[in-house]
Amino acid sequence: MSTPTGAAASRLSAPASLRWRIVFWITVVVATALISVVLITRSLLIAKVVENSNSDVTQELQEFQLFAQEGRDPNTGEHYDDPYTLINAFMTRQIPDDEEIFVGLVGDTVLQHDFTSIDDVHADPLTEDDPLLDVMFAAAQSSGIYDHPERGRTHWGRIDVGGGEQSAAFAVANLSQEARAEADQQVRMLSTFAAAGLVASVLIAWLISGQIIAPVRQLEKVASQINNSDLTRRVPVEGNDEVARLATTFNAMLDRIEVAYRDQRQFVDDAGHELRTPITVVRGQLELLEFSTAEQRARSIELATAELDRMARMVNDMLTLAVADSGELVTPAEVDVAELTIDVEDKAATISDRVRLVQVAEGTAVVDEQRVTEAVLELYGNALRYSDGPVEIGTEFHGEGAARVLRVWVRDGGQGVPKEQLDTLFSRFSRGERARMSQPGGGAGLGLSIVKAIAEAHGGRPYVESIMGLGSVFGMELPAPQVEQEKENTQ
């Protein structure tokens, strides 16, 4: 059995879709919120039932206590001095609520009134063997809650009555089972509505998530249609939200990729074209060796070696540009600009004695000394090829503070560069028509592009100023912010 590979394998191992994840988390949040509401509501309802039951028991006991203090026997007009008569009189005059039971105990005699004859909503009296009697009158505490096997949870309270020969007490029992059942019914209804709301939220989340990820799917569709032969497709941008900004960023990325791909194709085409000429020359010279005289062979070897050297320089230049494209071309460090300028002049003098140092900047700058030297020597060699007189070099600072820049330039007295060629002069494999005519076997047009790469790697720019018939100035502007010590020395 074959195993899935590539895109199929990644699709099989991919997690759930973004739409389902959005729906899942919305469902989790809504379900958590609804469950919390149901649980909190139930707790509040049960707490209310407990509070009402305790309050009713306390109220009835307070009313009995007030009756015991202020009530008078209608036969004697005096306060009740007999617990039995007191309890019986109170139970006769006071009708308990529907879920309440009044019970008196005098000695071993249990006092109760049957209120079920009034209506069928009052609770039945307690039987003599009801365990609630023992709980209420035998307990050490005067109140509590008892889970009755038949009547459910019961809240009770007791007041001991003195003044007689026998022990006496009055108790109130509040049956909360029906109130709890009503609370549970409300919770069930709330749970039903919550479940319906959860289902509705899932459907709404499904619809909303579809609208949210629709632009993402459009982006995926456009990305899947992009190939080497067509980089022109773009994602439609609608609105100004995060997804729209993502589409804008994606389109900008495609613009950069398209430009880079076009430049790469152009670079490869130009490199192939430039390399084809020396290869042809070398091949032709080698084919002539077998039938050439000694003098002709020496000349062929000289030409072939020259062409191979030119190919080597071209390959080195292309490697330099490749390093520049990777962003690792320069390693800046603080250098003394005056010393750097003198070193460049010394190296230029070994190439040709036509060099003239006319200006030296005083100060320091953070640059890559070797790359700056390489760029200046490239400009110097370019000036030597396209001019006959002296070639001047120099350095100078422009501006102050953070805006200060270091200018490194080379001036020649050649014919100049036509204005229409200035914009493309630093492009790769661009030498200009006049340069090609004057130097048909010259370089590949990578020198100025290397200068541009070195300048831009420093955060600067290359520049050219040219007047036809008078000459040109080629140079670089590199950021060189003025440090505090230099400011003080300047002042």
Q: Same structural domain for residues 312 and 454?
A: no
Last residue of a domain, one of 325, 357, 377: 325
- As a whole number, the mean pLDDT across the chain is 83
- Cα–Cα distances in angstroms (integers) from residue 271 to residues 304, 336, 423, in the given order: 19, 38, 21
Which pLDDT does position 249 carry in this prediction? 87
Which pLDDT does position 244 carry in this prediction? 80
Examine residue 10 and state whether it is found in any structural domain, yes or no. no
| Secondary structure of residue 424 in the 3-state scheme | helix
pLDDT digits (tens, 9 = 90+) for 162-208: 755 678 999 999 999 889 999 999 999 999 999 999 999 999 999 98
42: domain range?
Answer: 15-225
pLDDT digits (tens, 9 = 90+) for 93-135: 888 888 899 999 998 889 988 877 766 677 888 888 889 999 9
- From the number of C-beta atoms within 10 Å of its C-beta (0-12, 13-18, 19+), residue 301 rates as middle
Q: Same structural domain for residues 105 and 206?
A: yes
The sign of the torsion formed by the CA atoms of 114, 115, 118, 121 equals negative
Examine residue 234 and state whether it is found in any structural domain, yes or no. no
Where does the pLDDT of residue 324 fall: very low under 50, low under 70, confident under 90, or very high at 90 and above? low
Q: Same structural domain for residues 221 and 251?
A: no
For residues 64 and 10, give the distance between their C-alpha atoms in angstroms, rounded to a whole number.
80
Q: Same structural domain for residues 217 and 305?
A: no
Residue 2 has pLDDT above 60, yes or no: no
For residues 480 and 361, give the distance between their C-alpha atoms in angstroms, rounded to a whole number.
12
Examine residue 436 and state whether it is found in any structural domain, yes or no. yes
Last residue of a domain, one of 325, 344, 362: 325
What is the pLDDT averaged over residues 38-60? 93
Which pLDDT does position 242 carry in this prediction? 79
Model pTM?
Answer: 0.51
Examine residue 235 and state whether it is found in any structural domain, yes or no. no
Q: Same structural domain for residues 297 and 367?
A: no
Q: Same structural domain for residues 83 and 167?
A: yes
Which pLDDT does position 203 carry in this prediction? 93
- Of 245 and 184, the one with more pLDDT: 184
CATH number at residue 286: 1.10.287.130
- Of 413 and 445, the one with more pLDDT: 413
- For the chain, the domain total comes to 3
Examine residue 230 and state whether it is found in any structural domain, yes or no. no
Q: Same structural domain for residues 171 and 263?
A: no
Which pLDDT does position 63 carry in this prediction? 92
pLDDT digits (tens, 9 = 90+) for 373-399: 988 998 998 899 888 889 999 999 998
CATH number at residue 396: 3.30.565.10
Residue 9 has pLDDT above 60, yes or no: no
The sign of the torsion formed by the CA atoms of 316, 317, 323, 325 equals negative
Last residue of a domain, one of 325, 355, 383: 325
Q: Same structural domain for residues 210 and 274?
A: no
Percent of the chain with pLDDT over 70: 86
Which pLDDT does position 253 carry in this prediction? 87
Residue 250 has pLDDT above 90, yes or no: no
Q: Same structural domain for residues 298 and 397?
A: no
Question: DSSP for 444-486?
Answer: -S-HHHHHHHHHHHTT-EEEEEEETTTEEEEEEEEE-PPPHHH
pLDDT digits (tens, 9 = 90+) for 424-482: 787 766 655 444 434 444 445 677 888 888 899 899 999 999 888 889 999 999 999 98
Which pLDDT does position 196 carry in this prediction? 94
- Of 3 and 63, the one with more pLDDT: 63
Lowest mean pLDDT among 84-93, 324-333, 466-475, 480-489: 480-489
Question: DSSP for 241-276?
Answer: SHHHHHHHHHHHHHHHHHHHHHHHHHHHHHHHHHHH
Examine residue 3 and state whether it is found in any structural domain, yes or no. no
pLDDT digits (tens, 9 = 90+) for 130-164: 899 999 998 889 999 999 888 889 999 999 987 55
Q: 453: closest CA among 334, 391, 385, 368?
A: 368
| Cross-strand pairs, 103 | 171
